[in-house]
Amino acid sequence: MQTSVTDQYEATLSFENQFADNLPGDQDRNNTRRQVSGACYSFVDPTPVSAPVLVAYSKEAAAELGLSEENCRAPWFTDMFSGNLILGDMKPYAMCYGGHQFGTWAGQLGDGRAINLGEVVNGDNQRWTLQLKGAGPTPYSRSADGLAVLRSSLREFICSEAMHHLGIPTTRALSLILTGDRVLRDMFYDGHPELEPGAVVCRTSPSFIRFGNFEILSARQEYDLLEQLLHFTVTNDFPEIDASGGVDSYLQWFTEVSRRTASMIAHWMRVGFVHGVMNSDNMSVLGLTIDYGPYGWLEGYDPTWTPNTTDAQGRRYCYGNQPYMAQWNLMQLANAIFPVVKDEKRLQEALDSYRVTFQEEWQQTLRAKLGLHTLEKHDDKMISSLLELFTKTETDMTIFFRSLANLKVAEKDGDKLLKFVEDAFYTPEEISQDHLENLKNWLHLYRLRLLRNDLGDEERRRRMNQINPKYVFRNYLAQQAIDKVEEGDYSEVEELLDLFRKPYDEQPERHHYAAKRPEWARNRPGCSMLSCSS
């Protein structure tokens, strides 16, 4: 007897719907753009696509769900995760949330192009919510079409998995699927829209609840529902907290959210990642990196750099501002839950845990990036002077720290010390003699500091290479992969997925992926700054 698609699916995945079953939903089942009140979500089905084709899937994300390579290559997988196959135990929905965008309250936002299929519990009793991004309009799409294009989808797919392997808290990505349809987009909002290949990414996370889920309920004074969502979130996503404690539970929860957020930001800063659009609706209560839009990686070190064209003037979400913006967003979350907690002093104490955690982790991170095993009172000054030197000439932060690990403490000659890090400079021929002398002086002081560090060269190098990646997902690498997929060649996606499985390893056969941004990519669209268009 031939096995049906339904049988194949049911033997592989079983969906649950804790969020939809335990929280109130929108009573209007019509998929029309509107304000949705008194509800945490709206039921909505993905829009079918014409000719879905699997570009790639993540073996690691699939394994978390108990999916084999055979499963992922099966036709039902492509149909399901493009939105063409919805079966009985799924209850697809889009979340209702609000948020502050670039510092201004934007009101209702919601999942405008994301649809949750439901939740899968794996063999280790871990719960994963599966969400399709780019699967069509929802009641929260406003004037948009709810679709996504290849360029943004590929960037999110690969970066989600790269961040995971870098050790950075993040949502995950299961699959990247071309829809066979064309989507009209104005990439730079300059009045020149073009048809681009459509795509759908399946994202996975224990939960997709954001700061904005609480903000919208508080703004609408739906305080009973606000407390219901708080209780649900603590119960389902923070099992270490006793949800029966009422206000005490919620304060413990907010403290934990603050700490997780601080740790996530410290990791971003460690590898030079810039999110680009840190609106409060793009902040996960689990402390996970979420919503990979116009992100980027520092290449020439510049604390004021933002990858987002929309942020080019104000630079609110530039690299150096990220710690402050995370704290600002946490303040908005604190304001949102205040009507339930009603204890300003204890909320402030909980919020203070963000600052304490970030400062501790960031200082520890900077010392670790320099291979400092011991602590001395002048370390902070030495570190800050190095970061200041970075700003004087275009210096690739990733390459500098990776190269610095090779420095030999026995070397006393300044010119030879410079040789260890010279590959990090974009225009070495333009560096002034004064700056070269300052670099030599810093390297000499650093060498003397290492002599007091109680670590041999090889052990220090090993430790530094565990925290300073050799490979990061530079924008030009993403654009090269996008170009190839548009030509029908998916091999570069697979190559990048494999590369980023071990971003701290040397992988000498792939050394070219660790190169500085090439000059042709300096101003090419998609390789420098990006818009929110997708």
Q: What residues act catalytically?
A: 281
Token pair recorded at residue 385? 């002077």
Please state, in angstroms and as integers, the Cα–Cα distance from residue 1 to each residue in 4, 40, 71, 73, following that order. 9, 43, 20, 22
Distance (Å, rounded) from C-alpha 158 to C-alpha 78? 18
Distance (Å, rounded) from C-alpha 234 to C-alpha 246? 10
What DSSP character marks residue 287? -
Residue ranges of E strands in 227-358: 273-274, 296-297
What DSSP character marks residue 190? S
Reference 251, options 327, 326, 338; nearest CA is 338
Name the amino acid, one letter, at 477. Answer: L
CA quadruple 66, 67, 69, 70: dihedral, nearest 10: 120
Q: 99, 215 in Cβ contact below 8 A? A: yes
Token pair recorded at residue 46? 């993905």
What DSSP character marks residue 418? H
List of residues 6+ apart from 193 with CB closer than 8 A: 184, 185, 186
Handedness of CA 524, 526, 528, 533 (dihedral sign): positive
Burial class (CB in 10 A: 0-12, 13-18, 19+), 161: buried
